[in-house]
């Protein structure tokens, strides 16, 4: 049975019809066309589907769309403001922290939530925070550098 879902995605209030068994990931990608959120393992292990719900990282592949009624959701498409990239996005580009780019949306959103919680983390804290986001290209070094540079803790 379909139900009406009201939510705010990237600052825009939306009202959509969703089926109860649809995950937030499916609704974002298929119903709203926001394909920046990636479908990786689809089992909550890789972190590619991470979005921010009320500012905290959630795995959208393991979240029922029906269960986020009234929530504020931010996907990678909603991070830039007025055409200006978020500092984390710029930093990932500058440091070469993107290769194939598949893990990047989840990685940046996790980093954003983490830096809001711990603005000046140590390298170990960064590693722990992004440990749920798998990257098979970069070897993580440049990703960690990019996150630390935004926090003003660059070595």
**Interacting residues toward another protein by CB under 8 A:** 1, 3, 19-23, 26, 42-45, 47, 50, 56-59, 62-64, 66-67, 110, 113-114, 127-133
Q: Look-up: residue for tokens 């705010």?
A: 8
The 10 Å Cβ neighbour count of residue 17 is 9
What is the closest distance, in whole angstroms, from the C-beta atom of residue 33 to another protein in the complex? Answer: 19
Beta carbon nearer to another protein, 12 or 122 = 122
Report d(CA 22, CA 50) in Å as an integer. 16
Q: Which residue lies nearer to another protein by CB, 3 or 136?
A: 3
Minimum CB–partner distance for residue 142 and another protein (Å): 19
CB of residue 3 to another protein, shortest distance in Å: 8
Beta bridge pairs of residue 55: none
Rounded CA separation 144/137 (Å): 13
Please answer whether residues 71 and 15 qualify as being in contact, where contact means their C-beta atoms are separated by less than 8 angstroms.
no
Q: Which is nearer to another protein, 40 or 81 (CB)?
A: 40
| Residue 80 C-beta: closest distance to another protein, Å | 22
Cα separation of 126 and 122, whole Å? 6
Q: Residue 68 Cβ, how far from another protein at the closest point, in Å?
A: 10
Strands 56-59 and 12-19: unpaired
Lateral strand order in the sheet of 50-53? 12-19, 2-9, 72-74, 50-53, 56-59
Q: Which is nearer to another protein, 67 or 93 (CB)?
A: 67
Pick 122 or 131: Cβ nearer another protein: 131
């Amino acid at each position: 049975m379909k139900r009406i879902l009201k939510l705010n995605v990237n600052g825009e209030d939306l009202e959509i019809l969703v089926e109860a068994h649809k995950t937030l990931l499916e609704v974002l990608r298929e119903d709203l066309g926001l394909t920046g959120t990636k479908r990786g393992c689809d089992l909550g292990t890789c972190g590619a589907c991470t979005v921010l719900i009320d500012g905290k990282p959630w795995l959208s592949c393991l979240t029922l769309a029906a269960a986020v009624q009234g929530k504020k959701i931010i996907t990678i498409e909603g991070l830039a403001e007025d055409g200006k990239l978020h500092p984390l996005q710029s930093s990932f580009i500058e440091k070469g922290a993107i290769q194939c780019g598949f893990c990047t949306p989840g990685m940046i959103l996790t980093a954003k939530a983490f830096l809001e919680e711990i603005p000046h983390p140590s390298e170990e804290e960064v590693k722990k925070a992004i440990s749920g986001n798998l990257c098979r290209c970069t070897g993580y070094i440049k990703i960690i550098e990019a996150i630390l540079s935004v926090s003003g803790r660059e070595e």
